Chain A
Amino acid sequence: MESGGPAKEPPRTSPLTSLLTLQDITVRGRSQPRLDRVSLQLKPGERLALLGPSGAGKSTLLAVANGLLEPDQGQVLWQGEPRARGARARRRQQARIGTLWQDLRLIEELTVQQNLNAARLAAWGWPRALLNLLLPLDTSACAAVLQRLDLDPALLNQPVSALSGGQRQRVALARLLRQEPLLLLADEPLASLDPRLAADLLTLLLELASPPRALLLSLHRPDLLAGFDRVVGLRAGRLVFDQPSTSLHPAQLEELYAGSEEP
């Protein structure tokens, strides 16, 4: 999509139906639940920020969303249908959910191009996956995602271990684009960045989350809520509020972070 053409398959959902639905999700923890009956709906094109102190369950919620974690109770719906049980169908769903990891999780030993193509592995069979380790594949598509993020296409055959910190951040984003996801997840992507880089990255992420793509992002800093449609507050595994970001009252934030040293 980002390299010009629209998604290959026609959108199965109208803008009104939900992309991702969490129904009464509970994830048990050692002493108290990490998520306690959390329900949430995300529509195509929506940009949702997840707020809450450390340990509130933000990362757990994102892990449930991208399928890494199976909830102990409750149901996850993807495009209105229960999440697939079979491994293959499940992976096809996961292929449409892209995650931007805080530690990026790029493969250091591979080139930028191989890393970008790794985002397509869900769709590729073995021959192509092996060929990608031998020859540069899909160079034009890879160059296009790099250019979209203002990166020099000459970086394509550099190993990731040779990149600077800022370049890595963008390559990770480029890999996300190359995956062509419908839902973008990001776990505290701004946490370890200096303020200017953080603002740049947030702008980029909000820009990339144009309809039909949706964005679900966990955040430490309530001052960066401007671009989001909705904001959800989590505290001790429970959903505290879920409302348009414009109607958020400072008192709600104070209550959300009460007792913690954060904002």
Chain B
Amino acid sequence: MRPAAPLWVLLPALVLVPVLALLPGISHGGGWELVGQFAAAALRPSLDPLVLGSVLGGLAVTAGIALLGWAGSLALGLVLGIASSRVVWRSCCGSAAPAGWIRRLLALPRSIHELLWGLLLLQLVGLQPAVAVVAIAIPFGALVARVVSDLLDALPTANLEALRCGGAPAPAALLTALGPPLLPQVISYSGYRLECALRSATLLGVFGLGGLGTELRLTLQSLAFPELWTGLWLLLAVMLLLEALLGWLRRRWAMPARLGLRQRAVGRQGREMVAAGLVLLPLLGAVAWGLEVRPAALLQWQGLPPLGPADWGAVAALPWPLLIGNTLLLTLTAAALAVGLAPLLLLLVQPWPAGGWLVRGLWALGRLWPPPLTALLLLFVLQPGVLTGALALGFHNLGILGRLLLEASETSGVAEQQALGAAGTGPRLALLYGRFSGLARPYLAYGAYRADVILRESVVVGLVGATGLGSQLLEALSSFAGDQLLALVLAYALLTLLGEDLSDRARLWLLETPHGDGHPQEAGGTWR
């Protein structure tokens, strides 16, 4: 008895059974009135010029931080990616070993969430706009580096070898043979990173690093819901515009899609890309000037409060198994909720065209909404804990996974679904059998990668308490317990690296096609 592909897609949704069973136990029911007020305020956001002005100002700061952090991560990622590529080292020095060392070094910055980078930097250099930018640039840069080197090493090397045999020097041969096929993939991927950077910049704001996030949190905590919705709607508009613009550019430049079931042609709109790049440079300069980002100020470390002697006994006495267990439970619950709910919701609304737009709207809200804010909102009616954190993280990732699933299902299994429909099959079963069959493996493979991201992200809902390593870490940060902080960050990094390895294995296993002619295994790297 082996479940068939479409069932796999639905299995993660089984997590709803324990979640729904446990919910009554953790709800305290006190704040339903507040939740009602919050929901009602969605329809009447504040249009007060003062509020609008401050929200727009915050939005500009958030967008600026996102843009600068993103640009920094690309620059960093390209350089480090080339430096950690096996094929580059082999061509230039004859040995690929240094690539492996650099890769291993880069795993550490990658495994630490941007929020942690931000809070650590905040302690070191004080509050300034550059903190958020650097906090985004470091982990994103290490991530881009890994993708770039993966892409580079996966390119066919026949052209390169031909050029080398003809006597071309290594750098010139690499650039000529590998540059053109690499570029469109990197550009397509960097578009997705920009979306991620916008989300991250909002999130960093929630923790006080500047921009719209700060205002969102303040308005939520002061129960000023109409003002909160002014910010949310504007953020939604900016995010959807950005996604639409990037999607349009990807189609126009014929870039590969993220959950790409079909490899599209390589783009040929080189001039437009160069022009876009040239426009971007002065824009970045203007944004940096406008935000008053001063790299020099990053070097002036502020005096840290006197650290007591490290008390390693206390560190060892932390309830490690519980902390790690809760973190893993949080991660798995959130991942299963996100992965399972997206197809389930699509199935539910399938018969109604309006339903499709409804879930799209819900997912867009989930994507833009920083999970700690959802968590704070949930605290109105739920007790703090793992489940509350998991619901918040699950909702956020549902937005990301749902959009991917929808994008992918627009191109995959259309004919099969149509054939079933023409034979009288109902719309939901036609979707399940026709489309989800082919999507199951790539979708779940992406879900495995997402689980790995959620593990890293679990720190951001630490503020709702009792969520494992995340909440302990935030506590250590606010109490200046340097020894605990070091141990917790290292434990987090270790756990993340283990999780990454596990999710890589799961992905490979899922994408391994049993008969060799199913879906291609491409784009393994571009998903990050």
In the complex, the chain A residue whose C-beta lies closest to that of B10 is A130
Bound: A141/B450 CA distance, A? 42
Bound: A190/B38 CA distance, A? 62
Listed stretches B1-9, B55-63, B240-248; interface member: B1-9
B355 at the interface (CB under 8 A from A): no
A111 at the interface (CB under 8 A from B): yes
Contacting pair A134 B7 (CB below 8 A): yes
Evaluate whether A133 and B6 lie within 8 angstroms (CB atoms) in the complex, with A118-B420, A162-B515 already known. Answer: yes
Contacting pair A97 B6 (CB below 8 A): no
Evaluate whether A133 and B3 lie within 8 angstroms (CB atoms) in the complex, with A107-B437, A108-B438, A121-B433 already known. Answer: yes
Contacting pair A134 B4 (CB below 8 A): yes
Contacting pair A111 B4 (CB below 8 A): yes
Bound: A231/B461 CA distance, A? 70
Q: Which of B420, B422, B429, B440 contacts A97 (CB 8 A)?
A: B422
Min C-beta distance of B249 to chain A, whole Å = 28
Q: How large is the interface on A (under 10, 10 to 19, 20 to 34, 35 or more residues)?
A: 35 or more
Contacting pair B419 A135 (CB below 8 A): no
Contacting pair A134 B3 (CB below 8 A): yes
- What residues of chain B lie closer than 8 Å to A226, measured between beta carbons? none
- What residues of chain B lie closer than 8 Å to A107, measured between beta carbons? 416, 433-434, 437-438
Bound: A103/B5 CA distance, A? 21
Interface residues in B429-454 (C-beta closer than 8 Å to A) = 429-430, 432-434, 437-438, 440-441
Does more than half of chain B's interface fall in helix, strand or loop, or is it mixed?
Answer: helix
In the complex, the chain B residue whose C-beta lies closest to that of A95 is B424
A228 at the interface (CB under 8 A from B): no
Contacting pair A122 B424 (CB below 8 A): yes
Contacting pair B5 A109 (CB below 8 A): yes
- What residues of chain B lie closer than 8 Å to A122, measured between beta carbons? 423-426
Contacting pair A98 B4 (CB below 8 A): no
Among B415, B421, B422, B515, find the residue whose CB has the most chain A CB atoms closer than 10 A.
B422
Contacting pair A103 B423 (CB below 8 A): no
Count B interface residues, CB 8 Å: 32
Contacting pair B438 A109 (CB below 8 A): yes
- What residues of chain B lie closer than 8 Å to A133, measured between beta carbons? 3-4, 6-7
Contact code string B398-434 (vs A, CB < 8 Å = 1, else 0): 0000000000000000011011111111100110111
Contacting pair B429 A103 (CB below 8 A): no
Interface residues in A100-140 (C-beta closer than 8 Å to B) = 101, 103, 105-111, 114, 118-119, 121-122, 126, 129-130, 133-135
Q: Which of A87, A119, A129 contacts B423 (CB 8 A)?
A: A119
Contacting pair A68 B518 (CB below 8 A): no
Contacting pair B425 A121 (CB below 8 A): yes
A222 at the interface (CB under 8 A from B): no
Evaluate whether A159 and B515 lie within 8 angstroms (CB atoms) in the complex, with A103-B415, A126-B429 already known. Answer: yes
- What residues of chain B lie closer than 8 Å to A179, measured between beta carbons? 423
- What residues of chain A lie closer than 8 Å to B421, measured between beta carbons? 68, 94
Contacting pair B423 A97 (CB below 8 A): yes
Among A97, A98, A106, A110, find the residue whose CB has the most chain B CB atoms closer than 10 A.
A110
Bound: A97/B422 CA distance, A? 8
Contacting pair A110 B423 (CB below 8 A): no
- What residues of chain A lie closer than 8 Å to B1, measured between beta carbons? 134-135
Contact code string B351-370 (vs A, CB < 8 Å = 1, else 0): 10000000000000000000
Sorted nearest first, the 8 A-B pairs with minimum C-beta distance are: A95-B424, A122-B424, A94-B424, A105-B419, A133-B4, A91-B424, A109-B5, A121-B425
Could you tell me which A residues sit within 8 Å of B by CB distance? 66-68, 87, 91-99, 101, 103, 105-111, 114, 118-119, 121-122, 126, 129-130, 133-135, 159, 161-162, 179
**16 A–B pairs (Cβ distance < 8 Å), ordered by A:** A94-B422, A94-B424, A97-B423, A99-B423, A106-B416, A107-B434, A107-B438, A109-B438, A109-B441, A121-B420, A121-B425, A121-B433, A126-B429, A129-B433, A133-B3, A133-B6
